[in-house]
């Protein structure tokens, strides 16, 4: 998809709604063939209603995993994702709530285990961002809210899930190219994404003895509801043009990284970050 294929658009609320986007994001390629890489496993995917989360949920399902999608409030998007997951012949559960609350994170884990009888994969993915022109535009409420969503929730869910995870389990955290390059208009967001990298590396070391692998994915620009919900319409029109490939990714181009990290194909990887970012070199 080139920048000419992104009509100017803006959504006035966060989280954004995938159903209101034009064109609609591609969540899985028509020719993607599952090969039972995750058969018999159960996963939690946060932010699973749309964007990268939806794509990951559907890819996991095509690889045989049961999936619980956790989301904040986008019921229509969540229902659409659930239907897509169930079309793959696996079970799907949905959980609505704010994972920035420790009790909600604990309830998500208990629901997943009660529904599927096990928990093997945790994808911490839900995020929010708010563009600013300068540092003074960031209020304490803005700063605290972004950290609550983007890193505190990762900690709460990981802490709740850890006792349920055994040998061969996988935790995958969504960070961002902004963690490595910085972003003068997304200061709070980029800061949380840097924290996620350190969190990933640290939790990986703490869980090696238990046989649980912890890795991350650092996407570049991706066409998700977060984009029209963050930027003005004219900025959306050229979104992604700054990377060497000169276009944003589709979620379908990002999700296979999560499949790899969740599967036995990545059995010798922990504490690492994959970089599907359109050609940016980040040295990290």
- Is 189 catalytic? The answer is yes
Give 3-state DSSP helix, strand, coil % of the chain, rounded to 5.
Answer: 45, 10, 45
Q: Give the span between the Cα atoms of 283 and 227, in whole angstroms.
A: 25
Secondary structure of residue 238 in the 3-state scheme: coil
Give the residues across from 64 on adjacent strands. none
Give the residues across from 174 on adjacent strands. 217
Task: Find out whether 243 and 277 touch, Cβ atoms under 8 Å.
Answer: yes
Q: What φ, ψ does residue 43 adopt, rounded to 5°?
A: -130, 150
Q: Give the span between the Cα atoms of 188 and 195, in whole angstroms.
A: 11
Task: Find out whether 28 and 59 touch, Cβ atoms under 8 Å.
Answer: yes
11's CB contacts (< 8 A; 6+ apart) are 17, 20, 225, 228, 229
Task: Give the containing element (helix H, strand E) for 122.
Answer: strand 121-124
Give the closest residue to 204 by CA, choosing from 215, 192, 218.
215
> One of 71, 154, 156, 189 is an active-site residue; which one?
189
Q: Which residues are catalytic?
A: 189
């Amino acid at each position: 998809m080139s920048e000419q294929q992104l009509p100017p658009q803006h959504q006035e609320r966060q989280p954004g709604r995938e159903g209101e986007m034009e064109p609609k994001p591609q969540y899985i390629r028509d020719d993607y063939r599952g090969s039972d890489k995750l058969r018999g496993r159960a996963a939690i995917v946060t932010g699973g209603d749309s964007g990268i989360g939806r794509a990951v949920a559907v890819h996991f399902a095509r690889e045989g995993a049961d999936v619980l999608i956790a989301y904040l409030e986008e019921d229509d998007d969540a229902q659409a994702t659930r239907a897509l997951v169930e079309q793959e012949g696996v079970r799907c559960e949905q959980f609505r709530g704010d994972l920035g609350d420790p009790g909600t994170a604990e309830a998500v884990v208990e629901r997943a285990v009660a529904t599927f009888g096990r928990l093997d994969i945790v994808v911490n993915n839900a995020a929010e961002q708010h563009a600013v022109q300068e540092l003074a535009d960031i209020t304490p409420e803005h700063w605290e809210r972004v950290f609550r969503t983007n890193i505190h929730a990762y900690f709460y869910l990981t802490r709740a899930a850890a006792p349920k995870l055994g040998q061969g389990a996988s935790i995958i955290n969504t960070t961002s190219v902004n963690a490595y390059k910085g972003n003068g208009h997304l200061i709070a967001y980029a800061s949380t994404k840097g924290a996620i990298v350190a969190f990933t590396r640290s939790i990986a070391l703490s869980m090696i003895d238990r046989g649980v692998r912890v890795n991350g994915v650092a996407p570049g620009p991706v066409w998700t509801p977060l984009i029209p919900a963050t930027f003005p319409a004219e900025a959306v029109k050229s979104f992604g043009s700054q990377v060497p490939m000169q276009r944003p990714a589709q979620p379908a181009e990002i999700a296979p990284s999560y499949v790899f990290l969740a599967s036995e194909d990545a059995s010798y990887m922990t504490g690492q970050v994959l970089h599907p970012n359109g050609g940016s070199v980040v040295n990290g």
